[in-house]
Structure 1
Amino acid sequence: MPPTVILRMTLATGWFARNGWKPFPFQKDVWSAIRRGESGLLHASTGSGKTYAVWLGVLNRLAKDSKSADKPAPLQALWITPMRALAADTARALQRPIDDLNINWTLGLRTGDTGSAERARQARRLPSAMVTTPESLTLLLTRADAQQAFKSLQVVVVDEWHELLGNKRGVQLQLALARLRHWNPGLIVWGLSATLGNLAHAHDTLLYPRQGRLVQGRVEKTLHVDTLLPENIERFPWAGHLGLRMLSQVVAGLDSAQTSLVFTNTRAQSELWYQAILGARPDWAGLIALHHGSLAREVRDWVEQGLKQGQLKAVVCTSSLDLGVDFLPVERVLQIGSPKGVARLMQRAGRSGHAPGRPSRVTLVPTHSLEVVEAAAAQNAIAAGRVEGRASPEKPLDVLVQHLVSMALGGGFRPDDLLAEIRTSWAYRALTDDEWAWALAFVRHGGHSLTAYPDYQRVEPDAGGVWRVPDRRLALRHRMSIGTIVSDASLSVRYWSKGGSGGSLGSVEEGFIARLRPGDCFLFAGRLLELVRVENMTAFVNRASGKKPAVPRWNGGRMPLSSELATAVVEAFGRAAQGHYDSPELQLVRPLLDVQAHWSALPVPGTLLAETMKSREGWHLFLYPFAGRHVHLGLGSLLAWRMGQRQPATFSIAVNDYGFELLSPTEVDWPSWLDDTLFAPSHLLHDVLASLNAGELARRRFREIARVAGLVFSGYPGAQKSTRQLQASSGLFFDVFRQYDPENLLLTQAQEEVLKQELDVDRLQATLDHLRDMRLDVHSLKRATPLAFPLMVERLRESMSSEKLVDRIRRMVADLDKAAGPGGYQLGDDDAAPLVPEEPAPKRKPRTRKTGMARTTKRSQ
């Protein structure tokens, strides 16, 4: 072996030996691949040593001569992280071997949190290695001297690639990598990923059009998954309450561990559980903390440092702590409510025992009895290795338009050269000449309908044929708007003080504060606050006590059940239908399953369960495809529309992850209507768009597209535009394009994103194909079953306040339990209030329409 190779290998292995570690085979494989100049994707479980597998390989290849250098090396490596909150922790991990090995490298951070002084230093000279985000990388590429600044770059590492792969941020990164590869043809690119099902697609998307290594980090790591089982279960569950009767068991679980993370699915839920735990154990004040993305950066930093140093007993958190941050003291993880997906559960489990050889433990805490079934299903799915895949978006033109302006700022571009470069990214590999011509015209003069407006003449060719941004004001606005993360406008929350604003607590969405009046109270940052006034996009508050609070509502609280977990749930029901209660979870929910089986039937693989019922409200149909709430919204609307083509009728629709309800106030002979034509896949797109208020859905989606494409500007710091203003502006563009530029490709994109993201039309198509092959099992009910009851609650919550809904639920449950006989759990105050303020489902007015696959029909109890 040549001496240089020995030196390179001992740099990594020697550092491992110094720390008393022995490298795993997959780490050696990565070191060797990087030494040979190969790119690749490393897939390994959380806490198995992925970071040092790649980073030591980078140092092996690039830092061998740095000790004798007179000054630090120029930019050699970029480390891309999906969250700026992870950047500082990642930088500390990367700095450690640099210091220990006396490598003459500088390491810097470049995120939205980077201060102006550090940015100025980086403008003069970039560090040897830099940790950054996709947005900050694109911003760096808008420098006029970007090609010169990045000429020495040799390696790019994309951390948590699975978190970027399936969204527009990943597409933005693909375009940035295409530019860097164009400037540096020998660029080495590595991705790090965990808990991902479609590795081949993830590999090809990152490295396209080249090939590379796919390294599987097979390390023996024990994952314990268990369920915190309640003493009793309700036979008629409903989603939306907290399950706080589990509080004493949760507290006991936290007490038994040194440090724990308590994950919730929404920020609102985290606020409520934090208050509940602190109320149960006031002696833990200062030992438990709250962490979510809306809290102030200083608060989150304090919590993260407390976790790393083992000073906190527990932290109630959301996905803000899902990724990357290394908290060795964490012994166990508790998941409140359904994880909704196998990969999400495994990712969160990996936050405990975050080191090679240490076991990880996650405990599921069901908030209602059907989530006990999901807990059993999740354990089976993990044991079977069923992990969700993620697919890259294809040709999002709003991201392309933004990229064109960015590249015009970053030294300018020639269209033919840039087109060839862009087609080397996976998302735009099939970009057509017509689409390219449209994009160029759009950034040059706003397309067909905006030619007369100077603000949309953002790029134009100079005398030499190089396209540049000619206006400094437009350049500034663009740099401030780079990125694809689009969220509703938020207001800063600060304490009120007579001399001026007090300390910052974080931010809440504008729509929530707009519903409050001065004097109203709400929970935020683990505190009970009273609103004093709203001024200049700031909500000023004081501490409050004794009043009933509201809880801020943030969007994104209704994640659909994944296909893998939904399949596992149906299999769990199927085992119970055969009399196999083969887990503690299924044994516990047997009273519910017995009622479901006695009054109707249990869902089983290969059979589509349908239930019909007549009540004072009308004629009900409950259908259970187990395809997730997004698909069920499209499917329910589709079936209602197709029924309406046969006979005039009015339907109300309610959906959840298991199925949907159609309710008609006029008599409907459901079994005769359920036939094969109702589930036919032909004319699917036409019928889905006709069945929904597709124009309004596309208008809402267009707001995000307009902001990414630069049509609307969110405002300068301290003078941001409100959500209402942005919606009005984007709505105006939407109407103008529809009337005067109907071929505008952003309109087409809005419709496609509605179909793919909001309605999941691909999964809807697959569901329809699957339903046609299933045996339909129709049951006529006298009263709602345990599966039907949650759907009725979903519908009622749209028209009733929380208090009225809780009273109505109590009466309904009491009646159903009486009919079911002894053995039911009676709802108490902890079960029914407060409601978790999830993102509300879109309001659907009953629709009048011109308005069926019955093969097995029986009348049930």
Structure 2
Amino acid sequence: MEPERIPQEIAAWFSGRGWRVRRHQEEMLAASDAGRHALLVADTGAGKTLAGFLPTLADFAPSRLESRAPPEGLHTLYVSPLKALAHDVQRNLLTPVEEMGLPIRIETRSGDTPSDRKKRQRERPPHILLTTPESLSLLLSYPESFELFRGLKRIVIDEVHAFATGKRGDLLALALSRLQAIAPDMRRAALSATVASPESFREWLAPWGDIDAVELVEGEQGAPAEVEILLPDEERVPWGGHAATWAIPQLYDQIRKNRTTLIFTNTRFLAEYIFQNLWDVNEDNLPIGVHHGSLSKEARRKVEGAMARGELRALVATASLDLGVDWGDIDLVVQMGAPKGSSRLLQRIGRANHRLDQPSRAMLVPGNRFEFLEATAAKDAVDQGQRDGEDFRPGGLDVLAQHVMACACAGPFQEEELLAEVRASLAYSWVDKEVWGRVLEFVATGGYALRAYDKFKRIVRDGKGVWRLSHPEQAARHRLNAGIIIDSEMLDVRINAGRGRGGRSLGKVEERFAASLSPGDTFAFAGMSLEVIKVQDMEVVVKAAKASAMIPSYGGQRMPLTTHLADRVRFMLVDRAGWGRFPDDVREWLEVQDWRSQMPGPGQLLVESFPHAKRFYSVYYTFEGWNANQSLGMLITRRMEDRGLMPGGFVANDYSLAVWGLKPVKDPAPLLSPDILQDEFVEWVQNSHLLRRAFREVAVIGGLVERQHPGKRKTGKQVTFSTDLIYDVLRKYEPDHVLLEAAWADARTRMTDVGRLGDLLDRAAEQLVHVELDRVSPLAVPVMVMIGREATPQGSVDDELLLEAESLAGAAMRVDEVDVILD
């Protein structure tokens, strides 16, 4: 690049700090100067954010302006997946702007921004506005938005991998199309350290999916990360458990050795649990903090401030700190339990040092033997620079309905013009006139079954085909309720008080778990076996079960195991030559499994059947993640019941599913036939709470049910009551309603992982391997030890689990004299 392309003020600032302008930063500026959109994929610490803003800073540099006045009005939008990230970027951007003496005003806008400042921003906007997808959508709902964004030059989307493939990405894609229509010369830039498929993200970023319009800029390679896997002092990797509390003494020793250690867990409960365990051994009284999404905003801000000032020696956190927060003094990142994906691990490792020329140090702490394999697979992927991620899917109709309403709030629109604008985004390029008509009809009347009710009439069309709000107050109602993030509810578990009414509360379970339950199901909770009577009005009404629980109760949101990492673990299991690098006990575990049974190779579905404790077990080695395995367990037990196989229950982890009953399964193939997705799957979803839960979310996002009225917010129970009533009406009178279609799409993909389930059934039809054994196999021990211990470890449960694991492992690993003779 020509040296004169970098304005002298910017070049001098870099030089004054002893830095150089990196190649990818120059290329981002060149792409902007050429009028092109750009996707930057660069390692953490490579100066991605500054690269994204460099064209904006250049536009305000006096040497470029010469005698011209600096740009007026809103020049650049910065969109972040997290409000905290926008505030962090503001801090880091203000420094170079002030030191370069650039005439740039920078402000943030989120749900926390005071209303008077929001109003002032619409009337006198800053040059750079840092915001989130939801706040941007709300800005677009104001009539002033046309004037506000008319001169917009650039939009910078940070950490694009974190939300582009989900509903927040759908909302942002629609906002991008609207902005492009208002400001045709606007240029888009997206930034990420962990994009697995740059071509897919280029297509998502481009108007009309024109991938050639988007420049791919790849960052300079940084120092390779230094990743190690922590093993117990006696080098015996645990059989079961996932909290990895065995590592607490060693972990505390690492905290003492380093200036600052950032410890990641996969659930909020585990963050609290690990924090408490560390505090119990904190004999030096070191400052240790905890950070997760359930904490108050004030508590999180306090911890973030302490970290920024270097006052904490360790911080235990969840995904709440995965993204982009720039704390340069972190010496070590620790991942407690399985990483679940190489991109997620890379993102977390990048929080250490945050400098391109120095290696980030990370330590993986597996909770059990399968997690050791997963940690090894993730380490290999990181060492090889391979990333993974979620696939793009068609945009949600509920999000489209919300966007239509936002556009109507901004002003009247022509049906055909808005459709063309919507179709310019890749997420909604599939929408045809028939689908578009159904969405407009829903926003206008609520749909055929609800059109008699005035409350659902939000927009009307005049004789010239122009749509506008049915009443001005609809705009205020929309802005009060718009958004994509729906808080997860907890449901009360109550003993039946008669006539199906809930009585005494036994506690609460996550709605995600409750949504999978149907009347008659039994599950373990509060030390009891309970039978479900019904799930409604934010309550699970139960009675004492006559038999042991069939379905385990789970705690905490679970991160999905990526397909990429699952495939790597599968390959490791059959790569016998590679076992030599494993600890002796892990290698012996695999060798005995290989000798006594078989390894689940790539492309295969291995099913092992064996008797144990007067029951008959079948273990399915799926490697499709907990969500798909949980769904499969529900379906298989129903099919077993229909066939008189007397199922007793099931338990699942990311790698396998164990199902048991009173009769042996001689042939698992009929239990796995593909028609299970047309028959049992449909029946299960419709009769469980899954579809109702999905409908509640899409009804809120689509604007059919309002969470807030002026000065009052509905409780979760009130929202559920409203959506359940509407759901029953639509199921009966309008089963093809656009929101029921959207709910089905959510229930199939997000809640049941039906895509991976379908892949699994295809594999079963082609390469099912069934091995019948006389006792539990070594590979089955990690899932078998979960039976009766599914909840997150508390108190002495860890010790009980270890004892149970050793007992099972003893049977699995025992080599009898008769085995040797037969061999």
TM class by smaller structure = 0.7 to 0.9
2:81 corresponds to which residue?
82
Task: Tell which deviates more after alignment, 654-663 or 61-70.
Answer: 61-70
Q: CA, structure 1 residues 36+293, in 2 after alignment: closer, same or farther (shift >3 Å)?
A: same
Partner Cα separation in structure 2 for residue 822 and residue 640 of structure 1: 30
Q: CA, structure 1 residues 600+718, in 2 after alignment: closer, same or farther (shift >3 Å)?
A: farther
Q: CA, structure 1 residues 483+510, in 2 after alignment: closer, same or farther (shift >3 Å)?
A: farther
1:522-561 equivalence runs, <5 A = 557-561=557-561
Secondary structure, counterpart of 1:261 in structure 2: strand
How far apart are residue 488 of structure 1 and its match?
Answer: 2.6
Percent of aligned pairs with the same amino acid: 34
1:659 corresponds to which residue?
656
Task: Tell which deviates more after alignment, 303-312 or 206-215.
Answer: 303-312
1:261 corresponds to which residue?
262
Secondary structure, counterpart of 2:783 in structure 1: helix
Q: For residues 8-53 of structure 1, what are the alpha-carbon distances to aligned partners after superposition, in whole Å with 9 as ceiling and x for unaligned? A: 5434433322322112222211111111111111111111111111
Show structure 1 runs of 5+ residues with no match.
Answer: 492-508, 514-552, 824-857
Partner Cα separation in structure 1 for residue 591 and residue 7 of structure 2: 63
1:185-334 equivalence runs, <5 A = 185-209=184-208, 210=210, 211-232=213-234, 237-240=239-242, 242-285=243-286, 287-334=287-334
Secondary structure, counterpart of 1:422 in structure 2: helix
Conservation of the 8 A alpha-carbon contact between 2:264 and 2:334: yes
Secondary structure, counterpart of 2:254 in structure 1: helix
Q: For residues 595-641 of structure 1, what are the alpha-carbon distances to aligned partners after superposition, in whole Å with 9 as ceiling and x for unaligned? A: 53455344344543321112345321111021212222344445556
Under a length normalisation based on structure 2, what TM-score does the superposition of the two structures give?
0.85
Partner Cα separation in structure 2 for residue 387 and residue 555 of structure 1: 28
2:445 corresponds to which residue?
445
* RMSD, aligned CA: 3.3
1:485 corresponds to which residue?
485
Task: Tell which deviates more after alignment, 565-574 or 159-168.
Answer: 565-574
How far apart are residue 440 of structure 1 and its match?
Answer: 1.0
Secondary structure, counterpart of 1:654 in structure 2: strand
1:29 corresponds to which residue?
27
Matched, 1:767 2:790: no
Partner Cα separation in structure 1 for residue 352 and residue 226 of structure 2: 10
Under a length normalisation based on structure 1, what TM-score does the superposition of the two structures give?
0.82
Q: For residues 34-90 of structure 1, what are the alpha-carbon distances to aligned partners after superposition, in whole Å with 9 as ceiling and x for unaligned? A: 111111111111111111112112222455566867787211000101100111111
1:163 corresponds to which residue?
162
Conservation of the 8 A alpha-carbon contact between 2:239 and 2:802: no
1:546 corresponds to which residue?
none
How far apart are residue 414 of structure 1 and its match?
Answer: 1.6
1:407 corresponds to which residue?
407
2:529 corresponds to which residue?
none
Partner Cα separation in structure 2 for residue 511 and residue 63 of structure 1: 56
1:549 corresponds to which residue?
none
Secondary structure, counterpart of 2:788 in structure 1: helix
How far apart are residue 157 of structure 1 and its match?
Answer: 0.5
How far apart are residue 156 of structure 1 and its match?
Answer: 0.4
Matched, 1:610 2:633: no
Q: CA, structure 1 residues 201+62, in 2 after alignment: closer, same or farther (shift >3 Å)?
A: farther
Partner Cα separation in structure 2 for residue 390 and residue 61 of structure 1: 36
Conservation of the 8 A alpha-carbon contact between 1:654 and 1:660: yes
How far apart are residue 684 of structure 1 and its match?
Answer: 4.2
Q: CA, structure 1 residues 817+648, in 2 after alignment: closer, same or farther (shift >3 Å)?
A: closer
How far apart are residue 194 of structure 1 and its match?
Answer: 1.5
Conservation of the 8 A alpha-carbon contact between 1:50 and 1:192: yes
How far apart are residue 219 of structure 1 and its match?
Answer: 1.8
Q: For residues 721-740 of structure 1, what are the alpha-carbon distances to aligned partners after superposition, in whole Å with 9 as ceiling and x for unaligned? A: 33222222211111110101
1:702 corresponds to which residue?
695
Matched, 1:743 2:769: no
How far apart are residue 803 of structure 1 and its match?
Answer: 7.9
1:39 corresponds to which residue?
37
Q: CA, structure 1 residues 811+230, in 2 after alignment: closer, same or farther (shift >3 Å)?
A: closer
* One-letter amino acid of the counterpart of residue 608, structure 2: E
How far apart are residue 358 of structure 1 and its match?
Answer: 1.7
Q: CA, structure 1 residues 599+796, in 2 after alignment: closer, same or farther (shift >3 Å)?
A: farther
Structure 1 residue corresponding to 2:56, chosen from 52, 55, 58: 58
Matched, 1:733 2:730: no
Matched, 1:621 2:621: no
Q: CA, structure 1 residues 746+19, in 2 after alignment: closer, same or farther (shift >3 Å)?
A: same
Partner Cα separation in structure 2 for residue 138 and residue 556 of structure 1: 31
Q: CA, structure 1 residues 375+799, in 2 after alignment: closer, same or farther (shift >3 Å)?
A: closer
Structure 2 residue corresponding to 1:816, chosen from 789, 808, 815: 808
How far apart are residue 289 of structure 1 and its match?
Answer: 1.3
Q: CA, structure 1 residues 683+313, in 2 after alignment: closer, same or farther (shift >3 Å)?
A: closer
Secondary structure, counterpart of 2:142 in structure 1: coil
2:547 corresponds to which residue?
none
1:13 corresponds to which residue?
11
Secondary structure, counterpart of 2:136 in structure 1: helix
Secondary structure, counterpart of 1:564 in structure 2: helix
Q: CA, structure 1 residues 282+606, in 2 after alignment: closer, same or farther (shift >3 Å)?
A: same
1:420 corresponds to which residue?
420
Instruction: Give the aligned length.
Output: 760
1:132 corresponds to which residue?
131
Structure 2 residue corresponding to 1:674, chosen from 657, 668, 677: 668
Conservation of the 8 A alpha-carbon contact between 1:196 and 1:390: no
Q: CA, structure 1 residues 798+378, in 2 after alignment: closer, same or farther (shift >3 Å)?
A: closer
Secondary structure, counterpart of 1:126 in structure 2: coil
Show structure 2 runs of 5+ residues with no match.
Answer: 492-506, 512-552
Partner Cα separation in structure 1 for residue 25 and residue 369 of structure 2: 43
Partner Cα separation in structure 2 for residue 627 and residue 752 of structure 1: 19
Partner Cα separation in structure 1 for residue 508 and residue 642 of structure 2: 41
Secondary structure, counterpart of 1:611 in structure 2: strand
Q: For residues 210-269 of structure 1, what are the alpha-carbon distances to aligned partners after superposition, in whole Å with 9 as ceiling and x for unaligned? A: 3210111132322111111112466772335x2222111001111111111011111111
Partner Cα separation in structure 2 for residue 603 and residue 727 of structure 1: 43
Task: Tell which deviates more after alignment, 172-181 or 371-380.
Answer: 371-380
* One-letter amino acid of the counterpart of residue 759, structure 2: A
Q: CA, structure 1 residues 510+298, in 2 after alignment: closer, same or farther (shift >3 Å)?
A: farther
Q: CA, structure 1 residues 314+859, in 2 after alignment: closer, same or farther (shift >3 Å)?
A: farther
Secondary structure, counterpart of 1:660 in structure 2: strand
Conservation of the 8 A alpha-carbon contact between 2:153 and 2:186: yes
1:521 corresponds to which residue?
none
Q: CA, structure 1 residues 431+860, in 2 after alignment: closer, same or farther (shift >3 Å)?
A: farther
Partner Cα separation in structure 2 for residue 91 and residue 69 of structure 1: 26
Partner Cα separation in structure 2 for residue 25 and residue 169 of structure 1: 31
How far apart are residue 594 of structure 1 and its match?
Answer: 4.5
2:541 corresponds to which residue?
none
Conservation of the 8 A alpha-carbon contact between 1:266 and 1:318: yes
1:632 corresponds to which residue?
629
1:178 corresponds to which residue?
177
How far apart are residue 154 of structure 1 and its match?
Answer: 0.8
Q: CA, structure 1 residues 448+45, in 2 after alignment: closer, same or farther (shift >3 Å)?
A: same
Matched, 1:347 2:343: no
Secondary structure, counterpart of 1:781 in structure 2: coil
Q: CA, structure 1 residues 662+377, in 2 after alignment: closer, same or farther (shift >3 Å)?
A: same
* One-letter amino acid of the counterpart of residue 96, structure 2: P
Q: For residues 381-424 of structure 1, what are the alpha-carbon distances to aligned partners after superposition, in whole Å with 9 as ceiling and x for unaligned? A: 22344321323331311001111111111123221111111110
Partner Cα separation in structure 2 for residue 317 and residue 807 of structure 1: 25
Partner Cα separation in structure 2 for residue 799 and residue 71 of structure 1: 60
Partner Cα separation in structure 1 for residue 375 and residue 716 of structure 2: 38
Q: CA, structure 1 residues 490+71, in 2 after alignment: closer, same or farther (shift >3 Å)?
A: farther
Task: Tell which deviates more after alignment, 216-225 or 79-88.
Answer: 216-225
1:796 corresponds to which residue?
788
Partner Cα separation in structure 2 for residue 471 and residue 555 of structure 1: 45
Task: Kindly indicate whether structure 1 or structure 2 has the higher relative contact order, using CA contacts under 8 Å at least 6 residues apart.
Answer: 1
Q: CA, structure 1 residues 554+225, in 2 after alignment: closer, same or farther (shift >3 Å)?
A: same
Partner Cα separation in structure 2 for residue 718 and residue 556 of structure 1: 32
Q: CA, structure 1 residues 490+780, in 2 after alignment: closer, same or farther (shift >3 Å)?
A: closer
Partner Cα separation in structure 2 for residue 366 and residue 90 of structure 1: 33
Conservation of the 8 A alpha-carbon contact between 1:30 and 1:215: yes
Task: Tell which deviates more after alignment, 460-469 or 418-427.
Answer: 460-469
How far apart are residue 800 of structure 1 and its match?
Answer: 12
Conservation of the 8 A alpha-carbon contact between 1:449 and 1:737: yes
Partner Cα separation in structure 2 for residue 727 and residue 71 of structure 1: 52
